[in-house]
């Protein structure tokens, strides 16, 4: 049975930066509260639709792997903030890339969508159903955010990244995975206004209300991720000492510290970028993985522990053994269209649109 190894990686971060000070211009909050409770200093706000971020990430990941778009057998787009629900996001990337031989599906498990997609693609590679897959994790939360609610508005950001998985006979790639879900408490993280339940019932798309029980989510996140990490470390026989780098979901620095501590891996071997991007939901782990490579934190044959949690409440962990190559084979010249507004102007636009839809 072949293994599924990661041979390409690429990210696409929207350039507009929204700082904690920017948030304090329209919310009753401050940098000290946000930093001490979450570790977040700034986040990105996209000036383009999610499909654009997905396409640029995908083109970069393909060039990194040295593959042609026509080599792809499958594209998985992990997200809960699709541009349209029909048709799906993955088919848009298939069209833009010209990946005419690829099937295309979306996976929505909220913040763990990339990781659930990783399991789906690697299982299909191991079964011999496909050989080359593109797995994207991307999210555009800003148009769906309730910017009047300080409990959630300070936590999230936009972003996207993609990885290429290929069949290999080498002893590398996704070595173990564990998926789980605390469905019994699914209502503690709920976004009202997204979904057909609200259609034609006085809601306008994007006019959301967030139910968010922060402290309970925090507790469950630590329990779920720790349980999943224990399972995959046990299955591979690696143990904490065998982990070279933890690449966790980036929702809150205190959660990352608690999970690393429970896994027995010190923070020096745990990748953190939550201070720069906040919680980008499905994009956090792939963006962190790409940046781990860019920063030289992933060595050939390194054992990586990826772990995440999200609405549902879904949670997961993967052990990934890296291959010999930690540098891209090539680069793509695809870029985002130029930015013409500040992050604060984009957010103020979302707020005005929401007020407009409420008054309509």
Site residues for ligand COA per CB under 6 A:
29, 33-34, 37-38, 111, 150-151, 154, 189, 214-215, 217-218, 251-252, 255, 279, 310
Distance, CA of 281 to CA of 81 (rounded, Å): 10
Is 151 considered catalytic here?
Answer: no
Specify which residues 306 forms β-bridges with.
Answer: 247, 318
Q: Is 279 annotated as catalytic?
A: yes
- Kindly give, in sequence order, each residue whose CB lies less than 8 Å from that of residue 119, ignoring residues fewer than 6 positions away: 174, 177, 179, 316, 318
Q: CB of residue 114 vs ligand COA: minimum separation in angstroms?
A: 13
Q: Which two tokens stand for residue 40?
A: 């977040």
In the complex with ligand COA, the residue whose CB is nearer, 217 or 293, is 217
- Closest contact distance (angstroms) between CB of 287 and ligand COA is 15
Provide the minimum distance between the beta carbon of 73 and ligand COA in the complex, in angstroms, as a whole number: 30
Options 249, 252, 303, 318, the catalytic residue: 249
Examine the residue annotation and report whether 111 is marked as an active-site residue of this protein: yes
Nearer to ligand COA, 286 or 310 (CB): 310
Residue 120 beta carbon to ligand COA: minimum distance, rounded to whole angstroms: 20
User: Minimal CB distance to ligand COA: which residue?
Assistant: 214
Q: Residue 114 or residue 322: which is nearer to ligand COA going by CB?
A: 114
Write down the catalytic residue from 64, 279, 303, 318: 279
Smallest gap from Cβ 194 to ligand COA, in A, equals 15
Q: Of the listed 12, 64, 80, 111, which one is catalytic?
A: 111
Residue closer to ligand COA (CB basis): 196 or 215: 215
Active site residues: 111, 249, 279
């Amino acid at each position: 049975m072949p293994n599924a190894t990661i041979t390409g990686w690429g990210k696409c971060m929207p350039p507009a930066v929204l700082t904690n000070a920017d948030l304090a211009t329209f919310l009753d909050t401050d940098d000290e509260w946000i930093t001490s409770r979450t570790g977040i200093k700034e986040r990105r706000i996209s000036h383009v639709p999610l499909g654009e971020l997905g396409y640029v990430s995908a083109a970069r990941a393909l060039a990194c792997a040295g593959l042609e778009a026509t080599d792809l057998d499958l594209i998985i787009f992990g997200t809960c903030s699709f541009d349209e629900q029909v048709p799906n996001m993955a088919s848009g990337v298939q069209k833009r890339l010209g990946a005419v031989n690829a099937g295309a599906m979306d996976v929505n498990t909220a913040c763990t969508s990339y990781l659930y997609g990783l399991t789906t693609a690697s299982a299909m590679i191991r079964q011999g159903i496909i050989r080359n897959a593109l797995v994207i994790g991307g999210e555009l939360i800003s148009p769906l955010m309730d910017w009047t609610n300080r409990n959630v508005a300070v936590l999230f950001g936009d972003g996207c990244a993609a990885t290429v998985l290929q069949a290999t006979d080498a002893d590398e790639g996704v070595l173990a995975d564990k998926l789980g879900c605390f469905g019994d408490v699914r209502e503690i993280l709920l976004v009202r206004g997204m979904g057909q339940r609200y259609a034609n019932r006085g809601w306008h798309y994007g006019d959301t209300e967030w139910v968010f029980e922060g402290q309970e989510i925090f507790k469950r996140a630590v329990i779920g991720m720790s349980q999943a990490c224990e399972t995959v470390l046990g299955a591979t026989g690696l143990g904490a000492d065998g982990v070279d780098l933890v690449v966790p979901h980036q929702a809150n620095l205190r959660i990352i510290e608690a999970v690393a501590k429970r896994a027995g891996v010190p923070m020096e071997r745990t990748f953190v970028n939550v201070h720069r991007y906040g919680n980008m939901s499905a994009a956090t782990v792939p963006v962190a993985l790409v940046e781990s490579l860019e920063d030289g934190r992933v060595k050939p044959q390194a054992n990586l522990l990826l772990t995440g949690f999200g609405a549902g409440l879904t949670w997961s962990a993967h052990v990934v053994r890296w291959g010999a190559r930690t540098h891209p084979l090539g680069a793509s010249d695809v870029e985002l269209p130029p930015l013409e507004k500040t992050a604060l102007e984009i957010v103020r636009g979302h707020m005005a649109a929401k007020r407009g839809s409420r008054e309509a």
